Every structure is written in C-alpha cells, then in structure tokens.
C-alpha cells in the first residue's frame, strides 16, 4: 500500500492559489464571480446595511 502524499507546504499552496487566480482572471471567471457576489449582496440588502453602519445611523 502506497503512503499518502504529504500535505503541500505553505509556499506550494500560495503558488497554487496564484496559478488558480491567474487562470480565473484570464478566463473571465473571476469577474463573473465578483459580479454575482456583488449582485447577491446588493439584493439581500447587505450593501445598504454596511453603508448605513459605516455612517453610524
């Protein structure tokens, strides 16, 4: 039975994250996710709540 692969190091995880984000940006997926999140937060009223809280009202 083969030994399980060791967990990646912090540096390897950062490199994987960097490659993933770059791939998502190039494909347009990053922007699509941001737009979806922005819409959902706005529709739920979260954006207005945060703005109101920041103004202290």
Per-residue pLDDT of the chain (57 residues), as tens digits, is 678 778 999 999 999 999 999 999 999 999 999 999 999 999 999 999 999 999 986
18/30 Cα distance (integer angstroms) = 13
Q: Which pair of structure tokens corresponds to residue 44?
A: 């739920």
Q: Which pair of structure tokens corresponds to residue 50?
A: 């945060």
Model's pTM, two decimal places?
Answer: 0.66
20/29 Cα distance (integer angstroms) = 11
| Rg of the chain in Å (alpha carbons) | 19
pLDDT of residue 49: 94
pLDDT of residue 26: 98
16/56 Cα distance (integer angstroms) = 40
pLDDT of residue 6: 86
């Amino acid at each position: 039975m083969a030994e399980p692969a060791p967990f990646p190091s912090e540096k390897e995880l950062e490199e994987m994250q960097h490659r993933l984000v770059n791939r998502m940006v190039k494909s347009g997926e990053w922007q699509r996710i941001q737009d979806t999140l922005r819409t959902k937060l706005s529709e739920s009223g979260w954006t207005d709540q945060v703005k109101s809280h920041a103004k202290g009202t």
